[in-house]
Amino acid sequence: MKTVCHLLLYLSVWGCCQAAQADLVVIANPQSGIEKLSKDEVINLYMGRNRKLASGINAMPLDLAATNTEKAKFYALLVNKNLPEINSYWARLMFSGQGSPPMQIESVDEVLEIVSSNKAAIGYIERKKLDKRVKMIYDPTQ
């Protein structure tokens, strides 16, 4: 019994650490006209349900490539789905002609570069990588 309790305690602490590592934020260009987005707005943009930003311009959501662990963390936090589920979702939408997934970007540095140079782009990065070229518009911890 004592071993089971220790295991449960370890797993709960590990889960908290994993959540802390998943400290991702959504960013936009400071000139985008967007101050904040709600979780629903972020979901709608990243799941293809809405194609415009609140400022009225067409959104350009950026997604990290599947090899980035941040992508799996982002969708787990956002919609509680794993990457195979997300890929299946987009396969159905693309097959039916109802949409296409966000643009795939290879690295966080590229996300920062594109967002900082394009008013329509939004992306997600680890909080610790925020810099003055972009602004945070959604924080899942708040």
Q: What is the pLDDT of residues 74-120, one digit of tens each?
A: 999 999 999 999 999 999 999 998 889 999 999 999 999 999 999 99
Mean pLDDT of 57-83: 93
DSSP count for the chain of H helices, then E strands = 5, 5
Per-residue pLDDT band at 19 (split at 50, 70, 90): very low
Domain ranges of the chain: 24-138
Neighbours of 101 (CB within 10 A): 17
Q: Answer left, alpha or beta for residue 41, where phi above 0 means left and psi between -120 and 50 means alpha.
A: alpha
Cα-to-chain-centroid distance, residue 8: 29
CATH classification for the domain delimited by 24-138, as one of 3.40.50.170, 3.30.9.10, 2.40.30.10, 3.40.190.10? 3.40.190.10
State the first-to-last Cα distance of the chain, in angstroms, to the nearest integer: 37
Longest dimension (CA), the chain: 58
Per-residue pLDDT band at 22 (split at 50, 70, 90): low
Mean pLDDT for the chain overall: 85
Q: In this predicted model, which residue has the larger pLDDT, 45 or 20?
A: 45
How is the beta sheet containing 121-126 ordered, strand by strand?
103-105, 60-64, 121-126, 24-28, 135-138
- What is the pTM for the complete model shown? 0.82
Do 102 and 14 form a contact (C-beta atoms < 8 A)?
Answer: no
Mean pLDDT of 34-50: 95
